[in-house]
């Protein structure tokens, strides 16, 4: 990637991700933590971290509590990420992830975020406008905190597309539904989020493919549907492929989907074909699974994973 291409990620509702490793975790009793780690997180922060690990020139913005911003500041300094977050009074939320290596289960406990005022959102919009001067790609991802209009993502996608920017959208619920019709270049729902978006359960690959193709016909450039251990489906106007990952040892699931988003952006910047983007995005996700926190292994490890990913033309009956 050339240095003149900058990517900005937006996190409206960042979090400090606290991961606790608890073998045989059981609700209703005392559980002993075997290992603990806290990381600056939130979907946009994770995407930026992965992009920086792979040599991307990245800026981050969004809404950040000033009272406990230190983990974020340290992460950005360590990875050379440009910090353009709008500071709010108060503390950024903490999300707890309980990883049970024995039962192979993950329990998430997500806290509510800060509630910004209209003037905070105005400052954020001004920051995004200033980033447009030297930024080609914007990644809008994550939940929307209380008090923020559900149309904010839609307004931002429209605003950025009007300025000729490339936009990735990775969200859920009403804010996601409002923005999908505004023509983002890439979206990355999982099957549950895609089902909610189209308003019906999706049973089998044929229905997943049909739903993704409908979104492409409505103006989305690329739909990447994550399907967990079964891999991911990638659909654009000229084709559809499915990427199936090899089995890997999982240290943490934190940010695996965000790593896929980062891989899609990098693959697009490198002008890879659909199969190549699918392979690299899946390799990024695999790399994240083997690390604690929002980190990628070295490029040679990512390339090794990419070589092991099976990519084939998508067949609805398979």
- Sequence-ordered list of residues with C-beta below 8 angstroms from that of 254, at least 6 positions apart, any chain: 17, 19, 39, 41, 46, 97, 288, 292, 293, 294
Active site residue 258: yes
How wide is the angle at C-alpha 140 spanned by C-alphas 269 and 146, nearest 5°? 170
- For residues 99 and 20, give the distance between their C-alpha atoms in angstroms, rounded to a whole number: 6
Beta bridge partners of 143: none
Residues 269 and 308 sit within 8 Å (Cβ to Cβ): no
**Which of these is catalytic: 39, 100, 120, 258?**
258
Question: Count of residues for the chain?
Answer: 318
Q: How far apart are CA 95 and CA 149, in angstroms?
A: 23
Separation between Cα atoms, residue 116 and residue 123, nearest integer Å = 11
Structure tokens at 234: 């990638």
Angle at 44 between CA 261 and CA 155, to 5 degrees: 95
User: How would DSSP label each residue in 260-302?
Assistant: HHHHHHHHHHTT--HHHHHHHHHHHHHHHHTSSSS----HHHH
Q: Which two tokens stand for residue 63?
A: 């809404």
Strand partners, 117: none
Separation CA 158–CA 145 (nearest Å): 20
Catalytic amino acids? 258
């Amino acid at each position: 990637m050339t240095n003149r291409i900058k990517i900005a990620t937006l996190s409206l509702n960042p979090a400090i991700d606290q991961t606790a490793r608890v073998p045989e975790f059981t609700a209703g009793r005392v559980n002993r933590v075997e290992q603990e780690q806290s990381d600056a997180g939130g979907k946009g922060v994770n995407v930026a971290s992965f992009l920086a690990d792979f040599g991307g020139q990245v800026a981050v913005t969004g809404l950040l509590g000033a009272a406990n911003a230190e983990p974020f500041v340290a992460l950005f300094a360590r990875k050379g990420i440009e910090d353009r977050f709008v500071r709010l009074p108060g503390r950024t939320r903490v999300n707890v992830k309980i990883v049970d290596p024995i039962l192979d289960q993950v329990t998430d406990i997500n806290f509510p975020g800060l509630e910004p005022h209209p003037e905070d959102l105005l400052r954020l919009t001004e920051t995004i406008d200033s980033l447009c001067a030297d930024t080609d790609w914007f990644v809008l991802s994550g939940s929307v905190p209380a008090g923020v209009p559900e149309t904010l993502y839609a307004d931002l996608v429209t605003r950025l597309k009007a300025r000729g920017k490339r936009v990735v959208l990775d969200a859920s619920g009403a804010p996601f539904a409002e923005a999908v019709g505004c023509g983002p270049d890439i979206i990355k729902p999982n099957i549950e989020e895609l089902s909610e978006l189209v308003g019906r359960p999706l049973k089998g690959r044929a229905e997943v493919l049909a739903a993704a193709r409908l979104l492409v016909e409505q103006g989305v450039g690329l739909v990447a549907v994550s399907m967990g251990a079964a891999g991911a489906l990638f659909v654009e106007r000229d084709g559809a492929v499915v990427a199936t990952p090899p089995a890997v040892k999982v240290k943490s699931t934190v940010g695996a989907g965000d790593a896929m988003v980062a891989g899609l952006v990098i693959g697009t910047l490198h002008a890879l074909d659909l199969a190549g983007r699918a392979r690299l995005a899946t390799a990024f996700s695999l790399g994240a699974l083997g690390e604690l926190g929002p980190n990628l292994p070295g490029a040679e490890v990512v390339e090794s994973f990419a070589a092991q990913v099976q990519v084939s033309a998508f067949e609805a009956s398979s």
